[in-house]
Amino acid sequence: MNRIECSRETEMLQVVVAGQWPDGCDPEQRAHVRTCGICADLIEVAVALSNDRETTVRNAPVPASGAVWWRARMRMRQDALRASQRTVAVVQVAMLGAGLIVACAVLSATSMLPQGWLGSLGRLFGGIGLGAITRGIQWSLPLCVALLVWLAASSVAAHFAPTDD
């Protein structure tokens, strides 16, 4: 019956990986490889793979430092762009939600929606009465206009702001 494993396979593989085969290993290990077919096959394959790895590493092209630096800068810019896009998306969703709430309040105050809906919304937010909500609506248009002007001015300023290019 043929054996499929040898108890010294790991040891022999470590010898090849360490670069000690055949000159740097014990004579007893070389003798074992001559008598053990499993370890002989292992050594043959491991030496071929090790030589191939060394050849590949020696012949691998090393990019210029300027190219590596440029790629790193491009990656940093792309990461910063993705982060800013996430922030803009969050702000846009928040503004959309605020706009929907204001629109519903204005429609309710102008009797286009049932008044009970606005009163239940006020109770939901801690007992705010219908009068407080309608008084807040009269300030909503100037506040929305001021917010839109501020957003437009900040986006224009961000567009024309100097960069580190």
**Pair 17, 25: CB distance under 8 Å:** no
> CA 143 from chain center: how many Å?
37
Interatomic CA distance for residues 51 and 25, integer angstroms = 17
Q: Where are the alpha helices (DSSP H) in the chain?
A: 9-17, 27-35, 37-59, 65-109, 115-124, 130-160
68 has pLDDT over 60? yes
pTM: 0.38
Q: Among residues of the chain, what percentage have pLDDT more than 90?
A: 10
Q: What is the mean pLDDT of residues 99-120?
A: 61
Task: Give the number of other Cβ atoms within 10 Å of residue 133's Cβ.
Answer: 17
For the cut 90, the answer to whether the pLDDT of residue 78 exceeds it is yes
- Distance of alpha carbon 109 from alpha carbon 130, whole angstroms: 9
Check whether 118 has a pLDDT greater than 70: no
